[in-house]
Amino acid sequence: MAKLSKKKKIDLEEKKITLIKSRVADQRAVYRVNISSTHSTLSLDSIICGDAFQVLQNYPDHFVDLIVASPPYADKRTNSYGGIHPDKYAQWFLPISRELKRVLKPSGSFILNIKEGVSDGERQTYVLDLILEMKRQGWLWTEEYIWHKRNSYPGKWSNRFRDAWEHCLHFTKERHFAMYQETVMVPMGDWAKTRMN
C-alpha cells in the first residue's frame, strides 16, 4: 500500500475537499487522522491512506488525542474490501485496536462507529463480541452515542424497523480523560423550570 508520502490535504478555507477512493489491502480501514504539529512529517489535518495496522506502527506511543473510526462492517461491501465473517470480526479488529490503544494518549478517546447486521432475520452479535474483547484488551467502554441517520437506507421488513441509527461507542484508556461537554451543550428551554419544581 501507499506509504506516508501519498497524503492528501483538505483546504477548508477554499472549501476544497479531496475524496479518496481506495481499495484497502488486507481488509483494513482508512482513517482520517489529526496529527499534532510536533510531528514533522505530516501537516495538520492530513488524510493517510493505507493499511491502518501498518500506518499506526509509524507513530509513537501516547501521540493522538482523539481517534474516530468507522471500520468495515462484517460481511458488508464485499466488492470493496472482501468482508469479514461475523464470527471472525472481533479477532480481525483486535490487532488494530491494540495499535490504536498504543498511540492514544492516556487522556484521549476512541470513538468507534459500527452497527451490527441482520442475518436470517436476527441481529448479529459481533459488535457485542468486539466490545467484550476490547475490554479484555484493557479498553474502558465509557459511553455510547447514537448517530441518527436521517438519510438511512429505505425499506420495510415484517419483523423489524428500518436501520436509522448506528452506534458510536466511546472507549478510553483511563477513567479520567479529556471531555469538553460545555462545547456541545444547548439551552434546555422553559419547560425545564416546570419539570424541576
**CATH number, domain at 135?**
3.40.50.150
Q: Average of pLDDT values for 180-197?
A: 78
Residue at 24 is within a domain: yes
Residue at 72 is within a domain: yes
Distance in angstroms (rounded) separating the CA atoms of residues 62 and 40:
16
Give the number of domains in the chain: 1
Distance in angstroms (rounded) separating the CA atoms of residues 30 and 142:
24
Residue at 2 is within a domain: no
What cell was used for 47? 488524510
Residue at 1 is within a domain: no
The model carries a pTM of 0.72
pLDDT at 154: 66
DSSP 83: -
Distance in angstroms (rounded) separating the CA atoms of residues 107 and 26:
31
Q: For 81-95, what is each residue's pLDDT tens digit?
A: 677 899 999 999 999
Residue at 164 is within a domain: yes
Look up the domain containing 125 and give its range: 7-196
Residue 27, classed as helix, strand or coil, is helix
